[in-house]
Amino acid sequence: MNSIAVVYPLLATLAAYAVGSLSFAVIVSRAMGLNDPRSYGSKNPGATNVLRSGSKLAAIVTLLLDALKGWLPLVLVKWFGKPYGLEEGTLALVALAAFLGHLYPVFFRFIGGKGVATALGVIVGINPLLGLAVLASFAIVVFFSRYVSLASMVAAVFAPVYYVFGDGMAWYADNRVLLSMALMSGLLVWRHYENVNRLLKGTESRLGKKKV
């Protein structure tokens, strides 16, 4: 019985990591005949860098699929996991695994993106209202600052805060899920270290402003 209780969460976690490892920036670019996003711009395999290829459609598709791969493993656990003993502890592991898959994809030499879209998908999977609150924070910071990177980091930091303050009102918080969210938040900010340096130097590009 104990071995079965360990096997199913482990399989769910590995499956989430495998799904997260699908680097859709690379996959979509190849499918649409575009250059590998790891070869130009920031060399980051994410939707923002795909946009630099000149294809808005490719960037939108990448964004949606990156978010989907964060959302899908969580909702599958929530919808079908209980008979197999998959509850909040597994949910926390699956959330972190899907996010880590995007950052360090096993199918793409462990060279992944910064995880913004996938993190949002994970958060929506945890609770749609939580996802809406995080997305609203992102939108507000972008509107006033025009810095997408700053908005991404602020939204990431506020996500676990919202989760705690919403406990007992909009959802019931679990400490293991909170820890998973806090780790994702820290990793996302750390992956933006180059953006942080540019923000401090005043050289970070603003949304809608063309480089000269």
Return the SS3 of 85: coil
How many angstroms separate the CA atoms of 71 and 170, rounded?
19
> Is 170 among the domain residues?
yes
> Is 51 among the domain residues?
yes
Element (H, E) at 129: helix 128-145
- Nearest CA among 113, 127, 114, 112 for reference residue 74: 127
Contact predicate 18/76, CB 8 Å: no
- Nearest CA among 191, 192, 189, 166 for reference residue 177: 166
How many angstroms separate the CA atoms of 124 and 142, rounded?
20
Range of the domain at 179: 2-201
> Is 206 among the domain residues?
no
Q: How many domains does the chain have?
A: 1
Q: At what angle do helices 88-103 and 175-191 cross, to 10 degrees?
A: 10
Written as six digits, the tokens of 193 are: 């270290």
> Is 211 among the domain residues?
no
According to DSSP, residue 167 is labeled: B
> Is 179 among the domain residues?
yes
The overall longest dimension of the chain from CA atoms, in Å, is 64
How many angstroms separate the CA atoms of 10 and 7, rounded?
5
Q: Could you read off the pLDDT tens digit of each residue along the chain, which spans 212 residues?
A: 466 668 999 999 999 999 999 999 999 999 999 999 999 988 889 998 999 888 999 999 999 999 999 999 999 999 999 998 899 999 999 999 999 999 999 999 999 999 999 999 999 999 999 999 999 999 999 999 999 999 999 999 999 999 999 998 888 999 999 999 999 999 999 999 999 999 999 999 887 765 44
Written as six digits, the tokens of 139 are: 């939108």
Contact predicate 171/127, CB 8 Å: yes
> Is 69 among the domain residues?
yes
> Is 209 among the domain residues?
no
Contact predicate 151/138, CB 8 Å: yes
> In sequence order, what DSSP letters do the residues of 5-51 get, joined into one string?
HHHHHHHHHHHHHHHHT--HHHHHHHHTTPPPGGGSTT---SHHHHH
What's residue 209's pLDDT? 65
> Is 128 among the domain residues?
yes
Amino acid code (one letter) for 204: E
**Model confidence, pTM:** 0.92
